[in-house]
Amino acid sequence: MDDETRSMNQLSGHDAGFLYSDTTHSNSNVSLLHIYDQSTVAGGRLRFKTLLAHIESRLDRSPVFRRRLQRVPFELDYPYWVADANFDLEYHVRHIALPKPGDWRQFCIQVSRIHARPLDLNRPLWEIYVIEGLDSFLDLPAGSFALLTKTHHAAVDPAGGSELTALLHDTSATPPGAAPPAPWFAAPPPGSAAMLWRGVFNTMTSPLRLARPLSRAIARWAPNAFTLAGDGARRQADVPLTRFNSVVSPHRVFETRRFALDDFKRLRALADGATVNDAVLAVCGGALRRYLGAEGELPDASLSALAPFLVRGDGRPTAGRRGMSWLQVQLGTQIADPAERLAFIRAQTAASNRVARAAAAQELTDIEAHVPAATLALSSKMLGFASLGIGRRRALANCSIANVPGPDVPLYLCGARMTYFSAMMPIADGLGLAFAVTSYDGQLIISPTSCRELMPDPERFALCLRESFQEAIEAAPRKPDPPRARKSKAAKARTAAAGRKHTAPRPPRAVRSARPRASTSGTASRKSLPG
């Protein structure tokens, strides 16, 4: 079997790691949240039957929808992707409603419960929940609804999840009618005997296939082995322990705050060369500083985050699933001033040696692809057991921050305009806080996911996010007002003459709408879509 066939039909070593690391209280689910205003639908109402037919018409656009995993006996090899002969669309697409009054707090509790439940590994690794009853969001009309798509990280990474979002949506409120579903027949899966034989063969030949990527990695790392080892040990030793570096429970909490993307572009001016991503890291660091500081739990040393990204062998970003690396970045939580914190973060992210080390992760990915499946499964379980004593050792990081870019234009689902797009990331023992950073139609949304025991008050943490941003934006330079066009003397004379002719009193200023604004306090955020 050649490498191309293997990559298309068999789970990669990188993705198998997410599968093997699942426990009874922690899984690798990635959930995307979409909220819609259905007043844009013809007739003002979108029926579940119509939505179900729409999803069915687009199943053939991605292999993720109808494929499941088939395990190899004795875990001699990585599982295979096979067609699910018993595929049932109505099992995967579910319809629920919030109880009255249908406010933001109820919504967060419901989606947290859905996100926490493990997926059935004997079926395609995705579920879609249509959630109605969003009637008490002040900035949305009554009757709004949400769509939650939940996938396993082994099947779709966060970037791939946003691709599924694009598959289900249109850029027009009047898309063409749903086409009848294309005929589909499940291809027969490989037999157990064939998988067992291939597993034995791959296990026996893995040392030979491992030799080449291992030699490349040694050649790349050897000249800097002592430097990298010393630097890695120093950075790990500098990571202090917090409440989020503990064993997590099966229960999840979720919150979010929305911002204008242009405001984060303004924040870049606080530090030379800073990017929007640097500004996001600085705001998240400020939120952690406020949250832990209020509890008297803020360490003196800077907290760190793991930021995943994809690299090619030369260190450049790539869109593929291969070559994923994790960059550890200190968040400057020991720095009170937002401008100084951003400059501190920018100095790290701009360092070229970090990019070089990240590029070396390509070799690690290649090595992982040829590690025997049984070895990888055993090592993942051993890491799970080791996490039970995580409080007695240093942490690798205090949280993770993942970017899930969305479209920069409005999207529609069967005519309903999408008004909100965010994500929920997986957490694990020792890494009990994950930030999802999404963008959509000029908005930037930061959404923390954590464990209910580690963060019993997610509304207060979301308020810390808002306060951290507000502190930074007040320090950022304002955009200069556009220059006013100078009037000629003749134009001024004509204007004065017109003013003398029209002596009627000027109308009063328009009264502001009495519609209440969405508050950023914890109490108010329970009643409205936070901003």
Domain boundary assignment for the chain: 3-181, 210-403+430-478
- CA–CA separation, 410 and 415 (whole Å): 11
CA 365, 369, 370: angle at the middle one, nearest 5? 125
- CA–CA separation, 167 and 59 (whole Å): 9
Contact 265, 276 (CB under 8 A): yes
Q: Which CATH superfamily groups domain 3-181?
A: Chloramphenicol acetyltransferase-like domain (3.30.559.10)
The sign of the torsion formed by the CA atoms of 208, 210, 215, 216 equals: positive
Q: How many helices (DSSP H) and strands (DSSP E) are in the chain?
A: 16, 15
The sign of the torsion formed by the CA atoms of 485, 490, 496, 500 equals: negative
| Fold agreement between 3-181 and 210-403+430-478 | yes
- For residue 17, the SS3 value is helix
CATH class of 210-403+430-478: alpha beta
Between helix 276-294 and helix 338-349 the angle, nearest 10°, is 130
Q: What is the pLDDT along the chain (531 residues), one digit of tens a residue?
A: 444 344 348 887 778 888 888 999 999 999 999 999 999 998 889 999 999 999 999 998 888 999 999 888 777 778 889 999 999 999 999 999 999 899 999 999 999 999 999 999 999 999 999 999 998 886 788 889 999 999 999 888 766 566 788 889 999 888 766 667 677 767 777 666 666 656 555 655 555 444 454 445 444 444 444 433 444 444 555 789 999 999 999 999 999 999 999 999 999 999 999 999 999 999 999 999 999 999 999 999 999 999 875 544 444 444 344 445 677 899 999 999 999 999 999 998 887 445 545 444 444 444 445 444 444 444 444 455 444 455 445 678 999 999 888 888 999 999 999 999 999 999 999 999 999 999 999 999 999 999 999 999 999 999 999 999 999 999 998 765 555 555 455 555 554 554 444 443 333 333 333 333 333 333 333 345 667
Could you tell me where the DSSP H helices lie in 330-428? 338-349, 352-359, 361-369, 373-386
Residues with Cβ within 8 Å of 157's Cβ and at least 6 positions away in sequence, in order, are 30, 321, 324
Of 378, 122, 396, 97, nearest to 237 by C-alpha is 396
Residues with Cβ within 8 Å of 225's Cβ and at least 6 positions away in sequence, in order, are none
**Amino acid occupying residue 17:** G
